[in-house]
Amino acid sequence: MNVLLELSVIPLIAALFSAAVRSRIVVRRTVAVLMWAQTALALYLLLPVFNGARLAMPSADFLIDKTAASFIILTVIVVSASVTHASVLYGQERQTHDSRMFFAFTSIFMVAMIAVFTCNNLAVMWICIEASTLFSAPLVYLERTKTAVEATWKYLIICSVGIAFALLGTVMIFAAGQSTANSEGSLQISQLVLNAPKLDSSLLRLGFVFCFIGYGTKAGVFPLHNWLPDAYSEAPSPACAIFSGALINCALFGIFRISQIVLASKNGHIGFEMMAIVVAGAISALAASLFLINQHNLKRMWAYSSIENVGIMLVAIGIGSGSLFLLQAINHSVAKVAMFLQSGNVIRVTGSKRLSNLHGLISFAPEQALLLALTTCAVMGVPPFGTFCSELSVLVSSADARLWVVAGMLIVSLTVSFIAVCLHVGRIVCGTPRPDYRRLPAFTSCAMPLLLLASSLALGFLFNSHVWNLLK
Amino acid sequence: MELSPFQLLEVMVAVAALLMLGTTNVRTNLTMFAAHTTFLAITAAAVGHIRHEHTLYAIAIMFFLIKAVGAPYFLRLIMKTIEVKLDIGAYIPTPIALHTGIILMGVSYLLARELPGAYVSADATYGAAASLSLIFVGVLMMVTRRLALSQIVGFLVLENGIFMFTLVKTHGMPMAVEMGILLDVLVVVMIAGLLLFRIKKSFEHIDVTKLTELRD
């Protein structure tokens, strides 16, 4: 038995179970329990990695290092939290779509995402990232409305074409290792990093550009982000939470692996390629914050906030700091998953995604309003939440690297987005409620967002302490 | 200019793909796609023969079955079911698209000469030029065609271009990787094809330029 197989068993069972069993109640309860079992299993299997243990993998094409292990654990927790919330949500009201489909596809989708982080081979990683697109497309389509069809089409086609370019880039990096006579070349990331200075520099650069465009499309880098707000606004909230909290990390992880090869080829100096990542990140963050000003849809707003965070994470990757990338990814995922789940609650209370229909939540459902406001703080990086520490660290590091323009752009985008989002959320919380709002059971619907919010708070306090040093 | 039979084959692949730009008839497009993919499969087998790599024979056969037979057949089935014959039109007229394609073919030859990399035989310039040309044709089809079905075909041509680039510019990816990529492409086509039914059902057309309900 190898780790990859062991981590796939429970999700595959969950997928088969939800496809085969007809009772929705049994399915949603069982899958939620299975997902937490998966979390426990992932922690049990992967925690030894932080003590330097090497795990048994199917071949040399797979490898789990500390960063990968952290991301797998993060992904599993994100999926478990979202599935649990979905399970509660589906129990409270009749859904327009088949909830069994949600659980089945989420489970397979999770396997694809876990596989992305275990890859030590560029081409295998490409296959896994493409597979994650394919298994997540049905999640966008779940509501089966006209707009959902449109969003799914855009998602599938734009991401597939984008990722096709990443395949071209992968082939070019492969060819870069074969430019000298008698060299076999390798697709294994560890081999490529080791032999990086010997790679053909022009092919490596071309390959990097194509890979960055490809995986950047999947991550939602401006100006290739078009599909992202559409998909987020149409997918059900728990699926959005997984997209934002886990899928984005997969694509960024791909860019991170490529950047490791590029960085090694320059002996650790930040060259043209890394600067390209930093600049693309800063521009994405700035553009997303400007898009945030004029928003009319609650979920589209958080989608743009995700793009902004992608920008910040790209800056962290471009500086060459994997640990900073991981830090921002963990904090963003935890806060944003809480946000999407809570937004789902708000949408159920008000029955609308349009910001113009959302008013006066504080007088109708104070607990939901309070949680929404607090989660907004967590997402936007208000101290003492974890996102504050990570965003500040990225800022400080970019200033340390003497990237003044980039640091300035980040400050502007963080400020603009904070003001814009606070205004929008302020309008939701205050004012007079509309008469058609519905009540939600406070405890069950708030449990999961509250738990994640507490985690985000804990991450803020744990920063720079023993746990963080272990991850580093 | 003398071309060896192998180089001629490589050029044929690119020319067959180029002809797809010349018509908006979906059926002809699919036939041309099948023809050009068959040429590509033969090229793969020829590369296998030249380099004495027998796994390439297996890859060529799988490639032929999935992409030259399976995908066009599946797309033709969809075409019949949702009753489309002509692409409702492109952003640019077909003659101009065809000429752009020819110019891009010349550009890809110039680009291919600049690219370093491993060589199958003495000279991989023709192969690399053909593969880049396929990528250009695929992108051009995806950008200019309005019919969702043509976009899928464009995507497949783009994928073929990448496959050909792998073929002529590297010593070949591992068999398992090639199979995984083929499988992924197959699933993309199947999901996209099924989505076409849904688009037709919800919108009563498959014109992608009219899919504009979602915007900021």
Asked if residue A359 lies in contact with residue A430, where contact means CB atoms within 8 angstroms, the answer is yes
Q: Which sign does the torsion angle of CA A197, A203, A206, A211 carry?
A: negative
User: Position A354: which residue type?
Assistant: R
Please report which confidence band the pLDDT of residue A95 belongs to, taking 50, 70 and 90 as the band edges: low
Question: Which token pair is B62?
Answer: 């799988």
Burial level of B3, CB count in 10 A (0-12/13-18/19+)?
exposed
Which pLDDT band holds residue A467 (cuts at 50, 70, 90)?
low
- Establish if A466 touches chain B: CB-CB under 8 angstroms: no
Query: Mean pLDDT over residues A423-447, rounded?
Result: 85
**Phi-psi map region of A321: left, alpha, beta (phi>0 left; psi -120 to 50 alpha):** beta
**Which structure tokens are listed for B24?**
């908006």
Q: Which residue of chain A comes nearest to B202, CA vs CA?
A: A146
pLDDT for A166 beyond 70: yes
pTM for the structure as a whole:
0.93
Q: Do A168 and B162 touch (CB under 8 A)?
A: yes
d(CA A254, CA A154): 22
DSSP B209: G
Closest residue of chain B to A125, computed from CA coordinates? B177
Check residue A267 and give its pLDDT.
78
Distance from CA of B165 to the nearest CA of A (A): 8
CA distance B199 to chain A (A): 6
Q: Mind telling me how many Å the CA of A300 is from chain B's nearest CA?
A: 8
Please say whether the beta carbons of A6 and A41 come within 8 A.
yes
Q: Which residues of A touch B158 (CB under 8 A)?
A: 161, 164
Cross-chain Cβ contact A233/B214 below 8 Å: yes
Do B184 and A153 make contact, defined as CB atoms within 8 angstroms?
no
Summarize the confidence of residues A139-154 as an average pLDDT: 89
CA distance A134 to chain B (A): 7
CA distances from A34 to A17, A29, A85, A214 (A): 10, 9, 14, 34
Distance CA A235, CA A77 (A): 20
Max distance between CA atoms of chain A, in angstroms, equals 76
Range in A58-72, A415-429, A436-450 with the lowest mean pLDDT: A436-450
Residue pLDDT, tens place only, A372-389: 999 999 999 888 898 988
- Whether residue B214 and residue A171 make contact (CB cut-off 8 A), yes or no, is no
Q: Check whether A169 has a pLDDT greater than 80.
A: yes
Residue of A nearest to B198 (CA): A149
Determine the residue of chain B that is closest to A167 in CA distance.
B162
With a cut of 90, say whether residue A434 has pLDDT above it: no
Number of alpha carbons in the 13 Å side-chain half-sphere of residue A19 = 11
Q: Which two tokens stand for residue B167?
A: 């073929």
Residues 220-249 of A with CB under 8 A from B: 229-230, 233-234
Flag if B195 and A174 touch (Cβ within 8 Å).
no
- Determine which helix (DSSP H) or strand (DSSP E) holds A337, and give its type and residue range: helix A322-350
Chain position carrying tokens 């008469």: A435
In the block, tokens 């020829």 appear at B46
Q: How many CB pairs under 8 A join A and B?
A: 118
User: Residues A294-313, buried b or exposed e (16+ Cβ, 10 A)?
Assistant: ebebbbbbbbbbbbbbbbbb
For testing the chain B interface, which of A109, A178, A213 should be mutated: the one with the most B CBs within 10 Å?
A: A178
Cα of B204 vs its chain's centroid, Å: 28
Q: Decide if A187 and B135 are in contact by the 8 Å CB cutoff.
A: no
Tokens found for residue B65: 């079955």
Domain extents in chain A: 270-472
Select, from the ranges A387-391, B21-25, B122-126, the one with the highest average predicted confidence (pLDDT): A387-391
Q: Is the pLDDT of residue A97 over 70?
A: no
Radius of gyration of chain A (CA): 21
Q: Which of A139-153, A305-319, A427-441, B82-96 has the lowest mean pLDDT?
A: B82-96
Rounded Cα distance, A362 and A373, in Å: 10
Please indicate if any CB of chain B lies within 8 Å of the CB of A186.
no
d(CA A105, CA A134): 10
Cβ contact A394:A325 at 8 Å = no
CB crowding A159-193: b at 16 or more within 10 Å, else e: bbbbbbbbbbbbbbbbbbbbbeeeeebbbbbebbe
> Following CA atoms B10, B15, B21, B26 in sequence, which dihedral angle do they give, to the nearest 10 degrees?
-80
A230 and A146 in contact (C-beta within 8 Å)?
Answer: no
Mean pLDDT of chain B: 86
Look up residue A236 and give its amino acid. P
Whether pLDDT at A340 is above 90: yes
Q: Is A364 helix (H, G, I), strand (E, B) or coil?
A: helix
- Domain spans in chain B, listed from the N-terminal domain onward: 5-210
The A residues from 240 to 299 touching B (CB cutoff 8 Å) are 291, 294-296
Task: Please give the pLDDT value at position A257.
Answer: 93
pLDDT (tens digit per residue) in A225-279 = 889 999 999 898 999 999 999 999 999 999 999 999 999 988 777 888 899 999 9
Across the interface, of A131, A154, A178, the residue whose CB is closest to B171 is: A178
Shortest CA distance to A235 belongs to which of A336, A329, A424, A106? A106
Burial pattern A378-416, b for ≥16 Cβ within 10 A else e, equals bbbbeeebbbbbbbebbbebbeebebeebbebbeebbeb
Write the residue in B158, B203, B213 that is nearest to A164 by C-beta.
B158
Residue A142 has pLDDT above 70, yes or no: yes
In B23-147, where does DSSP find H-type helix? 26-51, 55-63, 71-81, 94-114, 125-144
- The answer to whether A214 touches A285, Cβ cutoff 8 Å, is no
Q: Which one of A121, A146, A296 has the shortest CB-CB distance to B213?
A: A146
Q: Which helix (H) or strand (E) holds A226?
A: none
Would the pLDDT of A33 be above 80?
A: yes
**Cβ neighbourhood burial of B167 (10 Å; 0-12, 13-18, 19+):** buried
Closest CB from B155, B170, B195 relative to A153: B195
Please report the sign of the dihedral spanned by the C-alpha atoms of residue B216, residue A375, residue A217, residue A265. positive
Greater model confidence, A13 or B82: A13
Contact flag B173-A187 (C-beta cutoff 8 Å): yes
Average pLDDT over residues A333-346: 93
Take residue A18 and report the two structure tokens written for it. 């939800």
Which residue of chain A has the CA closest to B204? A146
Establish how many alpha carbons lie within 13 A of residue B41's alpha carbon, considering only the half-sphere containing its beta carbon.
19
Across chain A, mean pLDDT equals: 88
pLDDT at A182 over 70: no
Return the closest-CA partner of residue B19 out of B157, B152, B142, B113.
B157
Instruction: Collect contacts of B175-181 with beta carbons under 8 A, ≥24 apart.
Output: B175/B55, B175/B58, B175/B59, B177/A121, B177/A123, B177/A124, B177/A127, B177/A187, B178/B59, B179/B59, B179/B62, B180/A123, B180/A124, B180/A127, B181/A123, B181/A126, B181/A127, B181/A167
- One-letter amino acid at A140 equals V
Q: Most confidently modeled of A54-68, A128-142, A432-446?
A: A128-142
Chain A residues within an 8 Å CB radius of B162: 164, 167-168, 171
Instruction: Report CB contact under 8 Å: A157, B192.
Output: yes
Q: What number of H helices and E strands is found in chain A?
A: 20, 0
Closest residue in A to B179 (Cα) is A127
B→A interface, C-beta within 8 Å:
115-118, 135, 142, 148, 151, 155, 158-159, 162, 165-166, 169-171, 173-174, 177, 180-181, 184, 187-188, 191-192, 195, 198-199, 202-203, 208, 211, 213-214, 216
Give the C-alpha separation, B124 to B7, whole Å: 9
Cβ–Cβ under 8 Å, residues B145 and B158: no
Q: Cβ separation of B174 and A187 shorter than 8 Å?
A: yes
Instruction: Say if the Cβ atoms of B171 and A131 lie within 8 Å.
Output: no
C-alpha atoms less than 13 angstroms from C-alpha of A99 in its C-beta half-sphere:
26
Q: Is A174 on the interface with B (CB under 8 A)?
A: yes
CA angle B133-B136-B138, nearest 5°?
A: 110
Tokens of A119: 């890859």
Identify which has the larger pLDDT, A281 or B89.
A281
Residue A352 confidence (pLDDT) = 84
Give the closest of A123, A156, A179 to B192, CB-based: A156
Q: Closest by alpha carbon to B145, among B65, B88, B192?
A: B88
